[in-house]
Amino acid sequence: MTEVFLQTIPFFAIIALGFGAGRVGFFGPDATAYLTRFVFYFALSAMLFRFAANLSLTDVLDWTFMGAYLAGCVVVYALASVIALIRKRGMAEAAVEAQCAIIGNVGFLGIPMLVLLLGEAAIGPVMMVLAVDLVVFSSLIVILITASREGAIRLRTFGTVILGLFKNPMVVSIVVGFLFAALALPIPKPVNAFLELLGSAATPGALFAIGASLSGKSAERLSVASWLTVCKLLLHPAAVAFFALAVFNIDPYSAGVMIAAAALPVAGNVFMIAQTYNVAPARASAAIFLSTVLSILTLPMVIAWVTSL
């Protein structure tokens, strides 16, 4: 446990550095926005494409794995939604709270941390987790919010969802990378070196951007944020562990990667969606802030446990 905690310190230290830079005003909101855009559209996309292009599709596309992860997500998603509806928050707000309960920071934090701590073999499982989050739940929240506002699910809503997926650089880079892998297309050495160099900026850039963005957030609405943090850091990995190990019998290593990915704090893109649709952005912001701070303690504990598997 202590060894794993010490290994995670550099990641959270860079987040803390970004937080401090943002808090004192050295790295303002505009700088944070541009850094996030660079990481999102360039550095992280290069990393994801390079990872995907060098994977074997037979090893990556494990439908049982994705079924186990999806089952764990659905249980916690449903629980968070029901609790929100009982509180009479409405479908749109329930969708945002449910998104906070299961969508972790896989792209900016999970990929660099888990690949380093659990080995390069973790790339495939983490990519599958990311694919489920992006394709299934990022689409679902848009559908639910739109249906809540319009009173029905219309055909144009699906067009908006599909267009949004094609505009997401993480989705595009993964899909194009998988195409290269499926067709066994070689990547020229200069191109591979370019992608490796650009992708290497993703980890420090993403972590610094996380911290800088957190500096503008606060832990308001602690009661709801605390509940959503419990869902994300405890209930989500517990549900995923149950389905992976007890129901679907996933191999221990892949199950461990899946569980560790489920233990990541709430992703920043949940706030972006909430802000875009003006649905409970303060609640999402507080959940991101609180879950990220507490994950400094909970995430090493989960990783230490899964490595013992």
pLDDT in tens, 48-72: 898 888 877 766 678 999 999 999 9
**SS3 category, 249:** coil
Cβ contact 212:32 at 8 Å:
yes
Cβ contact 295:233 at 8 Å:
yes
Which range (10-14, 71-75, 151-155, 157-161) has the least confidence?
Answer: 151-155
**SS3 category, 293:** helix
pLDDT at 220 exceeding the cut of 60: no
Quote the pTM value.
Answer: 0.86
CATH of domain 2-307: 1.20.1530.20
Cβ contact 283:96 at 8 Å:
yes
Closest CA to 54 of 168, 172, 185, 170: 185
Q: Partners of 266 in the beta sheet? A: 104
Stretch 41-48: mean pLDDT: 89
| Residue 2 DSSP class | H
pLDDT digits (tens, 9 = 90+) for 256-298: 999 999 999 998 888 888 888 888 888 888 899 899 999 999 9
Cβ contact 97:224 at 8 Å:
yes
Cβ contact 111:47 at 8 Å:
yes
**Cα–Cα distance for residue pair 133/145, rounded to 1 Å:** 17
pLDDT digits (tens, 9 = 90+) for 98-154: 999 999 999 888 888 898 889 888 988 998 999 899 889 988 888 888 888 776 667
The domain segmentation of the chain, as residue ranges, is 2-307
The more confidently predicted of residues 230 and 37 is 230
